[in-house]
Structure 1
Amino acid sequence: MRCYPRVSAPLFCLFLVTTVTSMLPAQQEVVIYDEAKVPQFTLPDPLVGPNGEKIETAEAWNSKQRPYLIQLFETQVYGKAPAAPGKISYKVTESSDEAFGGKARRRQVAIQLTDDPEGPVLNLLVYLPKTDKPVPTFLMLSFYGNATVTDDPAVMLPTSWLRDNKDKGISGHKASEKMRGTSSGRWPIETILDRGYGVATAYYGDIDPDFDDGFQNGIHPYFNAEGQTKPKADEWGSIAAWSWGMSRALDYLQESEEVDGEKVISLGHSRLGKTALWAGATDTRFAAVISNNSGCGGAALSRRRYGESVQKINKSFPHWFCDNFVQYSHNEDACPVDQHELIALIAPRPCLICSAEEDRWADPHGEFLSGHYASPVYELLGVEGMGVEKMPAINEPVLSRLGYVIRPGKHDVTTLDWQRYMDFADRHVTKAAD
Structure 2
Amino acid sequence: MSVQFSSAQFGGEFKPNYDESKVPEFEVPNPLKSFRKRKIKNVRQWEKIRRPELLDFFTHNVYGKIPGELKIESWEVVEQSNNALNGKARRKQVDLIFSKNGHRLFFNILIYLPKNVEKAPVFLGYNFYGNHTVTNDVHVRISEAWARNNPSFGIIHNQLTEQSRGVRENRWQLEKILDAGYGLATIFYCEVDPDKDDFSNGIHPLLYTDGQQRPAYNEWGAIAAWTWGLSRAMDYFEQDDEVDENKVIVFGHSRLGKTALWAGATDQRFAAVISNNSGCGGAALSKRRFGETVARINRSFPHWFCRNFMIFNQNEESLPVDQHELIALIAPRPVYVASAKEDLWADPRGEFLSAYYASPVYNLYEKEGIPSKEMPDVNQPVQNTVAYHIRTGKHDVTEFDWEQYILWADKELFNK
SS state of the match for residue 102, structure 1?
coil
- Cα distance in 1 for partners of 2:68, 2:238 equals 18
Residues 121, 244 of structure 2: 8 Å contact kept: yes
**Alpha-carbon distance, 1:96 to partner:** 0.3
**Alpha-carbon distance, 1:118 to partner:** 5.5
Q: Please point out which of 279, 288, 295 is paired with 1:295.
A: 279
The equivalent residue for 2:370 is: 386
**Alpha-carbon distance, 1:114 to partner:** 3.4
Give the root-mean-square deviation of aligned CA atoms.
Answer: 1.5
Equivalenced residues, count:
406
CA 1:135 to 1:298, structure 2 compared with 1: closer, same or farther past 3 Å?
A: same
CA 1:225 to 1:379, structure 2 compared with 1: closer, same or farther past 3 Å?
A: same
The equivalent residue for 2:380 is: 396
Q: Please point out which of 311, 314, 319 is paired with 2:295.
A: 311
Q: Please point out which of 348, 358, 362 is paired with 2:346.
A: 362
Worse-matched range after superposition: 230-239 or 74-83? 74-83
- Residue type of the partner of 2:235? D
The equivalent residue for 2:358 is: 374
Worse-matched range after superposition: 111-120 or 331-340? 111-120
The equivalent residue for 1:13 is: none
**Alpha-carbon distance, 1:431 to partner:** 2.8
- Cα distance in 1 for partners of 2:329, 2:182 equals 26
Q: Please point out which of 151, 167, 187 is paired with 1:166.
A: 151
- Residue type of the partner of 1:205? C
1:45-94 Cα distance to aligned partner (Å, 9 max, x none): 11111211111111111122111101000111000024543555211110
The equivalent residue for 2:4 is: none
Residues 100, 206 of structure 2: 8 Å contact kept: no
The equivalent residue for 1:14 is: none
Runs of at least 5 residues in structure 2 that lack an aligned partner in the other structure: 1-10
Question: 1:12-411, aligned counterparts within 5 Å?
Answer: 29-86=14-71, 89-115=74-100, 119-213=104-198, 215-411=199-395
- Residue type of the partner of 2:38? E
Residues 146, 203 of structure 1: 8 Å contact kept: yes
- Cα distance in 1 for partners of 2:366, 2:55 equals 21
**Alpha-carbon distance, 1:27 to partner:** 6.3
**Alpha-carbon distance, 1:40 to partner:** 0.3
The TM-score, its normalising length taken from structure 1, stands at 0.91
Residues 340, 390 of structure 2: 8 Å contact kept: yes
Residues 132, 141 of structure 2: 8 Å contact kept: yes
Residues 138, 264 of structure 1: 8 Å contact kept: yes
**Alpha-carbon distance, 1:164 to partner:** 1.2
SS state of the match for residue 382, structure 2?
coil
**Alpha-carbon distance, 1:382 to partner:** 2.2
Runs of at least 5 residues in structure 1 that lack an aligned partner in the other structure: 1-25
- Cα distance in 1 for partners of 2:170, 2:177 equals 13
1:367-396 Cα distance to aligned partner (Å, 9 max, x none): 000011111111112211222331101011
- Cα distance in 2 for partners of 1:264, 1:72 equals 26
SS state of the match for residue 298, structure 2?
helix
The equivalent residue for 2:3 is: none
**Alpha-carbon distance, 1:217 to partner:** 1.4
Taking only the aligned residue pairs, the percentage that are identical comes to 53
- Cα distance in 1 for partners of 2:68, 2:331 equals 22
- Cα distance in 1 for partners of 2:47, 2:101 equals 36
The TM-score, its normalising length taken from structure 2, stands at 0.95
SS state of the match for residue 185, structure 2?
strand
Poorly superposed stretches of 4+, deviation over 4 Å: 115-118
**Alpha-carbon distance, 1:219 to partner:** 0.7
1:81-139 Cα distance to aligned partner (Å, 9 max, x none): 24543555211110100101111000000011334786121110000000252111000
**Alpha-carbon distance, 1:355 to partner:** 0.2
- Cα distance in 1 for partners of 2:58, 2:201 equals 24
